[in-house]
A and B are shown apart, each in its own frame.
Chain A
């Protein structure tokens, strides 16, 4: 290995690590607020990448129909619930707004010249299609189980993942896809070539992490989510409902997931079922952070990316095994230091 190869591998590691860090942070966020381990996060990544690819090829992404269908189910549940108690004007407006949004997107997707749009608009459209799926997913699959044991939540999470992979196949087909890089230029730093997309990934990731940090430290909405994670009943007594917190975190997770997909789509070919292994590496990062610590999870994720890149060079066949073995020392360490007896699941 020479310096050239090392920097190339380092770039790859850093790029992947940045993405894993983003995913690990959303996994932690969802977990601390809702107790759900969001296994289907990876599907948001693939949906993001594959939708973007479809749009760039001028094909209909098909995702708009999924959005419309799920919105319809969501809204009929809303109406059913209201019919049983009392119709409320504000809630009816909410239903109309949701339906209108989904319908507008269907129309937009079917009338706009998708391939000719500027890249920024394509990205916006992709996010607009995917992000609402997060809260809807929470509403349909997890909200009825808010008080269930965490084992049940985990099982449902896996089931949602399985369904979404199948849906991905139905919508996008079995072919893999890549998108155009955000910009074409590369940079030379001495003798080393820096890929522009690498810079994009790292910069956008840092930007998103910093924005999230500020949002959680400085805004009342961010604080409300943290409060729910710290003390659910305390938050409810202040009118911060777990449903609200759940929907917001799922929207954030869907956003981060699909944004990550859009970021890496120019670098890696993604298939409908690639998301799982990507999100699992985010989980490795989150486990290194003990499922509580954000900074540790971020650092752990970058380490995962680095280890992955360098084992690609030395022992490519064993890459995945090496990455997943990374959690073992952390599990041993935590087992040795933990004394408490778990009670009342």
Chain B
């Protein structure tokens, strides 16, 4: 709660600042506010989403030039005549243009590896800079002057201390909606981007869409900042929208701390002041004039990346007493309505089938002519010595990889052209051999990620928290699943601080949260203590009784033999035995596979 008081004090200070500070300081604060709005978008993109853009300054420019063109051109072309030179129409056009460009850039780079977005935005940033400088209708390098000031409710924002209130109000709203977004279903999907996209896709999350959403939001924040800038300065030229500024925005985000919305404000403030100071100070010691501050700033960023990649905000947080820190706990409303459940298939129905699956990697045959069937209401174990090809088989069954020959059928549909996201939507859920959780998120939020597909409310609702009803239902489901697997005491514990065994159980809860009919478990008992194994076996038996189909790859033989209905044994990529646990235990071929041939 103390954080709330801090915010209130901060807001009052902000409100009073123009009444006491001199004009120069107000101008500086205006700049900081404008920069922070852009940097906020980068926090979302870089700090949360793990992507980066050097083109933010160009989006700022697009927002600024759109309104400059519309409000100053005497003879607007026919198709823009409806704007009537209004700054508000300028804002609309700027945001639309920005969205179009961002959608296009995102479409061509976001499906590729992480290097293409930054490189693409560098090219975009440079191109736009030259375009502004070349087009005579945009004033060339001299720019466009004589922009009108904004009018709100009859008040003309023609002075720095007046538009100050608009800038900071917009920034505060932007911070508020960004926090809202991050604390929502869509926000969890966005935060999952950095923690392994394979996991996110397996939970039915469209990672490409999540990436696009934050790229778009960050671009729109930038355009909004550009619009404000244009009407604050009432003059635009290409210089402040060049690549250099694009880099500066990124530096602000990194200095402030790219993982926190407040880091945006801190970074914009610190870098602006530092630059100001360095520009005054460095020429004194280096002589002459020039942008020597870039040397220092560059080195500062390198140093921070090496020693404090979390930025200043994280350092500040560490310095404050623990009792001051955000003890934010998500409340779960137990009176929320239950989420609808899918009807489980009839016991004994064939759900998942591999038909003569062969998978080759170069000259290596990892799976050879593998067939198996999984029915509703049974637990099937896939076992075999290390290197037998179990993981490869698991990947074929979960549509992460596709067979070179043969096919996998799930609910009578071939998986050959399906993605792991599509099979998740069809009702298959899985856990991972190497636990894939988001370590800094609470257990509850991690599990709620599994229920992603069961919510429908999108980004717009999330931004203004209009989806609280659905959110409560999702969280209640997550809490129910956590209780069910026996982690009810750890709802608010950070997933990363749970023991390995608990993390594995947490993955099962997450998988169950998606309401599956088939559950694929990759070594669920590894690292569990004896008691935990017993509890896990109990849980799996209960799920089986409910009619779920469970396939597990497992090494712990005691666990397997006492739990499962049937076993498939693999060696050298092939099936060497299949049957009841008792049959497998006495099968000489299996014994030889595990202990080696007796010659």
Residues of A within 8 A of B (CB): 37, 141, 144-145, 148-152, 154-156, 158-167, 169-170, 174, 276-277, 280, 283-284, 287, 291, 317-318, 320-321, 324-325, 327-328, 331-332, 334-335, 338, 341-345
Contact = CB atoms under 8 A, between A and B. Distances in A.
Contacts of B123: 280, 284, 324-325, 327
B493 interface: no
Given A151-B114, A170-B292, A145 B126 contact: no
B588 to A, nearest CB: 38
A167 B286 CA distance: 11
A317 B130 CA distance: 8
Contact of B127 (A144, A163, A325): A325
Contacts of B107: 335
B305 A149 contact: no
B332 interface: no
Contacts of B251: 159
Contact of B50 (A151, A174, A276, A317): A151
Given A169-B292, A174-B290, A159 B301 contact: yes
A11 to B, nearest CB: 24
Given A148-B305, A331-B120, A342-B113, 5 more contacts: A156-B302, A170-B286, A341-B420, A342-B114, A342-B197
Contact of B114 (A144, A150, A161): A150
Contact of A145 (B207, B298, B306): B306
Contact of B305 (A150, A152, A318, A335): A152
Interface string B278-315: 00000000100011111111110110011001000000
A317 B127 CA distance: 11
A276 B294 CA distance: 15
A205 to B, nearest CB: 24
B134 A318 contact: yes
Contact of B294 (A145, A163, A321, A325): A163
A284 B127 CA distance: 13
A165 B244 CA distance: 11
A189 B232 CA distance: 60
A314 B294 CA distance: 36
A320 B52 contact: no
Interface of B: 46, 50-52, 54, 107-109, 111-116, 118-120, 122-124, 126-127, 130-131, 134, 194, 196-198, 201, 207, 243, 247, 250-251, 254, 286, 290-299, 301-302, 305-306, 309, 419-420
B302 A141 contact: yes
A156 B301 CA distance: 7
Contact of B198 (A144, A148, A165, A343): A343
Q: Which 4 A-B pairs have the closest CB atoms?
A: A163-B298, A166-B295, A166-B294, A162-B298
B36 to A, nearest CB: 19
Contact of B301 (A149, A155, A164, A280): A155
Nearest to A327: B123
B58 to A, nearest CB: 12
A219 to B, nearest CB: 27
Contacts of A166: 290-296, 298
Contacts of B113: 291, 342
B50 A334 contact: no
22 contacts: A151-B114, A154-B118, A156-B302, A156-B305, A159-B297, A162-B295, A162-B301, A163-B302, A166-B290, A169-B292, A170-B295, A280-B123, A287-B119, A320-B130, A321-B134, A325-B127, A331-B112, A335-B108, A335-B109, A341-B420, A344-B196, A345-B50
Contact of A170 (B109, B122, B290): B290
Contacts of B305: 145, 148, 152, 155-156, 159
A141 B303 CA distance: 8
Contacts of A174: 290
Contacts of A37: 115, 119
Contacts of A332: 108
Contacts, number: 138
B119 A283 contact: yes
Contacts of A331: 108-109, 112, 116, 120
A158 B306 contact: no
B115 A328 contact: no
Nearest to A332: B108
Contact of B130 (A148, A161, A287, A318): A318
Contacts of B420: 341
Nearest to A31: B115
Contacts of B197: 341-343
Contact of B122 (A151, A164, A280, A343): A280
Contacts of B131: 318, 321
Contacts of A344: 196
Nearest to B207: A341
Nearest to A152: B305
Given A169-B290, A170-B286, A328 B108 contact: yes
B203 to A, nearest CB: 12
Contacts of A324: 123-124, 126-127
Nearest to A329: B108
Contacts of B134: 317-318, 321
B460 to A, nearest CB: 26
Contacts of B109: 331, 335
Question: Which of B118, B131, B298: most chain A Cβ within 10 A?
Answer: B298
Nearest to A334: B112
Question: Which of B123, B131, B201, B207: most chain A Cβ within 10 A?
Answer: B123
A163 B120 contact: no
Contacts of B118: 154
Contact of B126 (A148, A280, A328): A280
A164 B294 CA distance: 9
A325 B299 CA distance: 32
Question: Which of A145, A160, A331: most chain B Cβ within 10 A?
Answer: A331
B114 A162 contact: no
A237 B51 CA distance: 32
B126 to A, nearest CB: 6
Contacts of A154: 52, 115, 118
B3 to A, nearest CB: 29
A317 B141 CA distance: 12
Nearest to A35: B115
Nearest to A284: B123
A283 B293 CA distance: 27
A159 B50 contact: no
B52 A151 contact: yes
Contacts of B290: 166, 169-170, 174
Contacts of B297: 159, 162-163
A156 B309 CA distance: 11
Contacts of A328: 108
Nearest to B289: A174
A338 B127 contact: no
A242 to B, nearest CB: 17
Contacts of B298: 159-164, 166
B302 A160 contact: yes
Nearest to B243: A276
